[in-house]
Chain A
Amino acid sequence: MLGRYILRRLLWTLITLFGVSLLTFLLIFAGPTDPAQALVGDKATGVSIDHIRQQYGLDKPLYVQYLTYMSHVLRGDLGDSYYFRQPVTKTLFSRLPATALLAVSIMVVSMLLAIPIGVIAALRHGTLLDRGVMIFQLLSLSLPTFFLGLLLIYFFAFKLKWFPVGGYGTFRQLILPTLSVAVPWSAWYATVLRSTMLDALSADYVRTAYAKGLGTRLVALRHMLRNALLPVVTMLGVDMASLLTGIVLVERVFSWPGIGFGTLQAAQHMDVPVIMGSVLFGAVLIGLANLIVDLLYTWLDPRVQLE
């Protein structure tokens, strides 16, 4: 059952990938700009463009071009990056560990912050603490990720010298980039959790739990939290694309050598194959993340049947 579900989800990811690839293909090869020009950049002219056009088969009909492109993609060939001077897949895979580390770190830290804050705000709703959490949420969600990152650099790296300004490799270098995304994220999820916990407060099963003599802490943690976490998990799946956006910006601010920073460098040099590769790569990551979120959902709520 579960196996069949996973298979279906993977199939949907494949359909997404197909859609994304068709879209990017149409954008590049049927768009207003000359793809040969885009592929080689602004500098090349005349003969070299004709050469490129033949080399990439751009003189063939559109559907032939798409089929060739897809057959390359399916064989794991995303073309060559002329900015990094290596195959696109190599560029992306060599940068994957850094991005994955940052993503996992952001998820873990934001949940570690959001769950206790949301639970306490709900149990103490209406108090000064609760209002403080709401105001903090509003403020942290009003700053762009990259600006929050700069503020953290200014205060904690430049003024207080607690952490390095940027770079990758040590644990201390991971903290500021993580916080730039995790702080607003945790504030957002804490408010979601707070409102679902408040809904749970008046639920029948909570009254039953109290009636059989369980203490507040046990009811909150074992009965309410498990149910209140469900909408949070759903939200997590929806927010995957924006997590990726946040990571790209933070990688830029902290010179974090991940896929996002690499794609930005490529974008600044009109290196289209790398951006296309990142689009497909990102679609795979989002698809897998959503699969994990769905599996997490059934683990939290056994009533949910995956079909």
Chain B
Amino acid sequence: MTTLQGIDKFKTKVDQSTAPRATTWWQDVGQRFRHQKVALVAGVLFLLLFVLCLLAPQIAPFSPIEQFREDGLSALGEPLPPNAHFWLGTDGVGRDLLSRLLYGGRVSLGIGIMASGLSVLLALLIGGVAGFLGGKTDFFIMRFVDLVMSMPTFFLTLLLVVMLSPGVWVVITVISLFSWTYPARILRSQILAIKRLDFVQAAYCLGTPRWRIFVRHLLPHVLPLIIVYLALGIPNAIFAEASLSFLGLGVPPPAPSWGSMIQDGMSYYRAAPWVAFFPGLAIALAVISVNLLATGLREVMDPARRGR
């Protein structure tokens, strides 16, 4: 039989200094992520691209829209290849490609990140509410998701952009309107699983208001998935913006974007292939790096992949 003194005695035996320290979930993620070397390098590369574009007004050698008709074009009036003055060459009207690339990145990466963020927010609101409320609400919301998933999204995007006339916020909204369905499904099933767990039921029993349960008890558990799908959505959003700009339906000229720069280059790809090549390379670099980063984040954060 254990006496009170016995417990006291046992307590004094535990040496606090050698006991293993408790690791929080995020510390664990940090430790796991340190082993994802490829994702680390990719993350640094993406950050570098992003910061370079962000600093465009400070570091770009020229204005992105100034046309150097005198010294920016060859004697035949064709774009100049990369040289000491214009590092990446010039485009068809004598604008500096490097400066356009840096400024264009602000548009392309900015829209990519914002559109992905907005679509994950939509996914959380729609999918999260469906999973949280369940029942008939869930059924009807999910049929709506099915409906959106079987729509010809690109034609609808065209229709919206034409109706609303192109601009940065129109492009961001339209891209996110058609990309929230997949993350919404994932978030819904995750919330459906978590809300049955004991700690959530306990919160219900304590009379916690529903919005508070959603924000305090469910949201922290889907936050990793939100981060993963935010990263995974960026490449698609970059592609979508590039496609719209390539078709002349993105951010209106003369403001550069990587997609519209490829369109510019398409008209003289024979004489000056670099005009289309550099923005294409920039898109590829951004998409590869953010893809690898997202894959790494997924390995350490997605509950379905951890523990494997």
Tell me whether A189 is interfacial, beta carbon within 8 Å.
Answer: no
Q: Quick check: B152 and A286 within 8 Å, CB to CB?
A: yes
**Cβ contact of B152, chosen from A138, A145, A249, A279, cutoff 8 A:** A279
* Contact with B262, one of A38, A150, A263, A276 (Cβ below 8 angstroms): A150
Chain B residue with Cβ nearest A282:
B152
Contact A31 B163 (CB under 8 A): yes
Chain A residue, CB-CB nearest to B276: A150
In the complex, number of A-B residue pairs with CB atoms less than 8 Å apart? 139
A162 at the interface (CB under 8 A from B): no
Q: Does B140 contact A (CB under 8 A)?
A: no
Interface size on B, residues (CB 8 A): 39
Taken together as a complex, chains A and B put the C-alpha atoms of A2 and B235 apart, in Å, by 40
Interface-centre pick from A31, A244, A276, A282 (highest chain B CB count, 10 A)? A282
Q: Which residues of A contact B48 (CB under 8 A)?
A: none
> Given the complex, which residues of A lie within 8 Å of B287, measured CB to CB?
141-142
Q: Is the CB of A279 within 8 A of B159?
A: yes
Interface string of B139-182 (1 = CB under 8 A from A): 00000000101111111101111111100000000000000000
The reply to whether A16 and B150 contact each other, CB–CB distance below 8 Å, is yes
- A residues near B247, Cβ cutoff 8 Å: 249, 252, 264, 267
Q: Is A275 an interface residue (CB 8 A)?
A: yes
Knowing that A147-B242, A267-B161, A282-B152 touch, tell me 20 more A-B residue pairs with CB under 8 angstroms. Answer: A16-B150, A20-B151, A27-B160, A38-B163, A142-B283, A144-B239, A144-B280, A146-B243, A147-B262, A147-B280, A154-B269, A241-B150, A244-B152, A244-B155, A245-B243, A267-B249, A268-B249, A270-B162, A278-B155, A282-B154
For the complex of A and B, list the 4 residue pairs with the smallest distance between their C-beta atoms, beginning with the closest. A282-B152, A245-B154, A147-B280, A142-B287
Using a CB–CB cutoff of 8 Å, the interface residues on chain B facing chain A are 147, 149-156, 158-165, 235, 239, 242-243, 246-249, 259, 262, 266, 269-270, 273, 276, 280, 283-284, 287-288, 291-292
**Which residues of A are interface residues toward B (Cβ below 8 A)?**
13, 15-16, 19-20, 23-24, 27-28, 31-33, 38, 138-139, 141-147, 150-151, 153-154, 158, 238, 240-242, 244-245, 248-249, 252-253, 263-264, 267-268, 270, 272, 275-276, 278-279, 281-283, 285-287, 290
